[in-house]
Every structure is written in C-alpha cells, then in structure tokens.
Structure 1
Amino acid sequence: MARVIPFQDHALARLRARVAAAEEANQDLIAFARGHSGAVSSIHSAALAAMEADSFDALLHVVTQEWPLILGLDAVALALIVGDRGFRVDTGGVQLVDPAMLRRLLNQVDAVVLRTVERGHPLFGPACDLIRAEALIRLEGDAPAGLIALGQRTEQPLDGRHGSELLMFLGRCLSAMIGRWSSQA
C-alpha cells in the first residue's frame, strides 16, 4: 500500500524562510536609501558652503575647516600645483610640497579613489597616521591641477559607484570655485 508523505510542514518552513530573507533585503534597501539620501544632502551642503565663499582664502577655510563638520570627516586636505610649485592646505594652513610628488599622485587618480588604508596619504600631513579610510578626488576643469583628500579615522564600507559619483560632483564644484577665484587673481 502507498503511503502519503506530508509536505505541508516542509513547504511552510521554506516559505517562512523566504519571507524572512525578503524582509531582511527590504530593510537593507531602506537603510541604504536613507544613508544615500543623507550623503547627497551632506555633499550638497558642502558644495553650497563653497559657493558662498567670498574670497579664495574663505574658500580654503570652508574646505579645510567646515567640510569636515558638514561631511562627518576627520581630515580634509587640498593639494594644488600652481605654476612650478606645489601646495597642500589643511587645518594647519598652507605648506609647500614637491610638485613632482603631486603630479605622480594625479597620474594615479583617474577621478575618484576610495580605499581603506593602514595609514592615510601623506597629503593629510600630521593626521595621516590616524586615517583608516580615504577618498582622493581629482580636480578637473579650469582650476589648477590638484586633488582633494578626504579622510576618516574609522574604516568605512566603500559605497562604490554611488559614492564616487557624489564625490566627483563635489570635486567638480570645488574645481569651478577654485577656477573662479584663480581667474580673478
């Protein structure tokens, strides 16, 4: 005689597992969307702060002093090559740097580099020992050749394409502002 095998318990358990997995994926998607929205808002706030600068010195102040607060970062440095001289600007002020080193670095950064590190790039100056995640953003356009270095003390999961697009936007805004002020000098 044939025996009937009950599949209901097995099917119900499988269905519950699939519903739980779908709910977890949904929560992950909602968390990503909220985080992305916050990142967009921060980047826009940083760009607006740069646009409101009324001089080149004020722009440097915004980038090095206000952007860390706006963007939730621990360090921001700006490096520029002007003529045959290299400059690095951070919270400590303006320092001369080897323009050849900056050119080598620019050749390594296509648009944006996001990475976790054991030690931050030397452009962070004394803060480089504390940096564990950094973004290097190449400046494009009419501005002098250069880049922005953004750093955090804690390792962060890197957001890939979406984070790069936001940082490229920030870099383009800063390039436009530097280009505007350097053309007036």
Structure 2
Amino acid sequence: MATVISFEERAVARLRDRLGAVESANEDLIAFARGHSGATAAIHAAVLAAIEADTIDGLFDVVTRVWPRLLGVDHVALALVADDRGFRVDAMHVGTVDKRIVDRTIEQLDPVTMRTVPCGHPLFGQAVGQIRSEALILLSTEAPVPYGLLLLGQKDAAGLDNRHGAQLLGFLGSSLAAMIRRCLIDS
C-alpha cells in the first residue's frame, strides 16, 4: 500500500518565507526612493539658490554658507585654479593654495568621489580634522574659466550611495561650473 506524503506544510512555509523576503525588499525599495527623492530635492534647492547669485562673491557665499544647510552637510569648500594660481574658499576664509595640490588631487579622482575617511582632504582647510565622510566633485571647465573641486564634508562617517549619489553630485558640480562661468565670463 502506498503512503501519501503531504507537501502542503513545507510549501506554505516556503511561501511565507518568500513573502517575508519580498516585503522586506519592498520596504528597502521604498526607503531608498524616499531618500533619493530627498537628495534630489536638496540638490535642486542648492542649484536654485546658486542661480540667484549674480556675482562671484555672492555665488561663493551661497555655496559655502547656504549649501551646507540645504544639502545636509557640515562643511563645503571650493578649490579653484585661475590664471595659474590656486584659491581655496570656505565659509570662514578665502585664500590661496598651491596650484599643484589642486592639480594633483584632480588627477587622482573620478569626476565624483565619495568616501568615508579618518580625516578629510587637506583642501577642507581648518575643518579637515572634523570630516569623516567626503564627496569631492570635479568642476570641469574650459579656459579662461577656473577649474577645480567642490568639496562636501560631514562630521559623521556615513554610508554613501555611490551609484545614484554620484549622478546627483555630478549634476551639482556641472551646475556650479556653469554658474561660475556665468559670473566671470557672461556678465
């Protein structure tokens, strides 16, 4: 006589496990979408604030003083090379920097580099010791417009989303480069 084996219990248990995995993945996707949407909104707000600046000094003020609040970062700095001279701008200081430091840094980076660090990049200036996460964004331009870097830093070591975050930060850097050109050349 044959014995009937019931697979129903195991099948139901596997379906419950799979349903739990799908629900978890769905929650992760929703959380990512909300975060991505928030990051996109912050980048757009930053670009709109910079568009309002009509002078290079006004633009630098927006970037170094307003962008940290809008982007949710602790420090923003710019390192630029103009007329074969290096400059560094942050919320507390505008000064010179060796052009070779900027050039060497640019050579070593991707267009957008996001990383967790024990100490920030030296181009952050006095804030270097406070930085634990940084995004370094190349500002690619053509002469006579200055080229250089936009540096965003956070005090907390944050997990960074390189794939999607890099696209948004690339847009931010391209927008800033265009606004620098507008302030220096087109006006």
TM-score, normalised via structure 1 length: 0.96
2:64 corresponds in structure 1 to 64
Residue 184 of structure 1: CA displacement?
5.5
CA RMSD of aligned residues (A): 1.3
Which amino acid in 2 is paired with 1:173?
A: S
CA deviation map 1:8-43 (0-9, x unaligned)? 111111110000000000010011011101100000
1:114 corresponds in structure 2 to 114
Distance in 2 between the 1:108 and 1:48 partners?
A: 30
SS at match of 2:94: strand
1:150 corresponds in structure 2 to 152
1:178 corresponds in structure 2 to 180
1:78 corresponds in structure 2 to 78
Distance in 1 between the 2:49 and 2:108 partners?
A: 29
Greater than 4 Å deviation, 4+ residue runs:
none
Distance in 2 between the 1:124 and 1:168 partners?
A: 19
Q: Which blocks of at least 5 consecutive residues in structure 1 are unaligned?
A: none
1:45 corresponds in structure 2 to 45
Which amino acid in 2 is paired with 1:17?
A: D
Aligned length: 185
Residue 161 of structure 1: CA displacement?
1.9
State percent identity of aligned pairs. 56
Is residue 2:132 matched to residue 1:132?
A: yes
Q: Pairwise mapping of residues 91-102 of structure 1 onto structure 2 (< 5 A)?
A: 91-102=91-102
SS at match of 2:67: helix
2:162 corresponds in structure 1 to 160
SS at match of 2:164: helix
TM-score, normalised via structure 2 length: 0.95
Residue 140 of structure 1: CA displacement?
1.5
Which amino acid in 2 is paired with 1:167?
A: L
Residue 116 of structure 1: CA displacement?
0.8
CA deviation map 1:158-178 (0-9, x unaligned)? 212211111111001100111
Q: Which blocks of at least 5 consecutive residues in structure 2 are unaligned?
A: none
Residue 4 of structure 1: CA displacement?
2.3
